C-alpha cells in the first residue's frame, strides 16, 4: 500500500474515533420494533370471518405489546382482569368459564353488559358480541362484533390487537356521545401494561 493511502486510512480512522468521542456517530436503536402480522383492514382471523357476524364498519383498533406470553395475555383479557367485575353463564354449553357460546356478563355502573363468545381459539383469538337488548347497560348501537387476537412477538412477549365493529342506531346524537370502548378498553389494557410491562402501539 502506498504511503499516501496509508496516511489517508489513518486519518479516516482517527476521524471516526473523534466523532465517536463527541457523540457524532449515528446511534443504533437497540430497542426491538414489534409489529402485528395482521393488516389494518384484515377481516378474517384464523379462518373466522367478521362478516359471519356483522357487516358493520370497524370503529376502533387498539394494538399493544406485552412482556408476557400469549397464554397469559389471552387469559387475562378474556377474563377482563383489571377491567371490570364479570360473571360467566354457560348458556347451555356446560362450559364453566370462557368457551365458545358462553356468556360474559360485565358489570358497569351498577348495570351489566351481555357479551357472548362467538369464536374461541385460545390463546390466539376470540370474538365476542354485545347484545344491546339483553344488556341492562344500554348501548345505542347494533351489529356489534369485537375481535381480539394475541400473537407471539417472536421473543417472550405478545402482541394483542382489539378490533371493534358496530353501526350507530342514530346520528348525530350517538356520534356526540361515544360508546365506552374508547376509554374502558385502553384503560384496561394500560392496566395490564403496568402488571406485565409493555407499551401501546396503536393508536
Read off the CATH number of the domain in which 153 is found. 3.30.530.20
Specify if 28 maps to a domain. no
List the one residue out of 111, 97, 107, 179 whose CA is nearest residue 146.
179
Specify if 24 maps to a domain. no
Specify if 22 maps to a domain. no
Interval 104-125: pLDDT, tens: 999 988 999 999 999 999 999 9
Specify if 143 maps to a domain. yes
Of 140 and 56, which is predicted with more confidence? 56
Specify if 35 maps to a domain. no
- Owner of C-alpha cell 389471552: 74
Confidence of residue 33 (pLDDT cuts 50, 70, 90): confident
Specify if 50 maps to a domain. no
- Is a pLDDT exceeding 60 seen at residue 19? no
Mean pLDDT of the chain: 86
Backbone φ, ψ for residue 116 (5° rounding): -100, 135
Specify if 21 maps to a domain. no
Interval 172-203: pLDDT, tens: 544 445 667 888 999 999 999 999 999 999 88
CA dihedral of residues 68, 69, 70, 71 (deg, nearest 10): -110
Specify if 169 maps to a domain. yes
Q: Give the residue numbers spanning the domain of 170.
A: 56-202
Please give the tally of structural domains in the chain.
1
List the one residue out of 83, 40, 28 whose CA is nearest residue 201.
40
**Under 8 Å between Cβ of 97 and 26:** no
Amino acid at each position: 500500500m502506498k504511503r499516501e493511502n496509508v496516511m489517508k486510512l489513518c486519518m479516516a480512522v482517527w476521524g471516526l474515533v473523534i466523532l465517536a468521542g463527541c457523540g457524532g456517530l449515528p446511534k443504533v436503536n437497540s430497542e426491538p420494533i414489534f409489529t402485528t402480522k395482521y393488516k389494518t383492514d384484515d377481516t378474517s382471523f384464523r379462518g373466522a370471518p367478521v362478516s359471519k357476524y356483522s357487516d358493520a364498519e370497524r370503529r376502533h383498533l387498539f394494538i399493544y405489546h406485552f412482556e408476557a406470553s400469549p397464554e397469559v395475555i389471552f387469559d387475562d383479557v378474556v377474563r377482563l382482569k383489571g377491567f371490570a367485575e364479570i360473571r360467566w353463564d354457560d348458556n347451555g354449553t356446560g362450559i364453566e368459564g370462557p368457551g365458545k357460546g358462553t356468556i360474559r356478563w360485565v358489570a358497569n355502573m351498577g348495570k351489566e353488559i351481555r357479551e357472548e363468545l362467538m369464536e374461541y381459539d385460545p390463546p390466539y383469538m376470540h370474538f365476542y358480541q354485545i347484545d344491546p337488548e339483553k344488556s341492562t347497560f344500554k348501548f345505542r348501537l347494533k351489529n356489534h362484533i369485537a375481535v381480539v387476537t394475541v400473537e407471539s412477538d417472536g421473543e417472550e412477549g405478545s402482541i394483542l390487537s382489539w378490533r371493534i365493529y358496530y353501526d350507530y342506531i342514530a346520528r348525530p346524537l350517538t356520534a356526540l356521545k361515544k360508546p365506552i370502548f374508547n376509554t374502558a378498553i385502553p384503560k384496561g389494557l394500560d392496566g395490564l401494561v403496568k402488571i406485565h410491562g409493555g407499551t401501546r402501539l396503536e393508536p
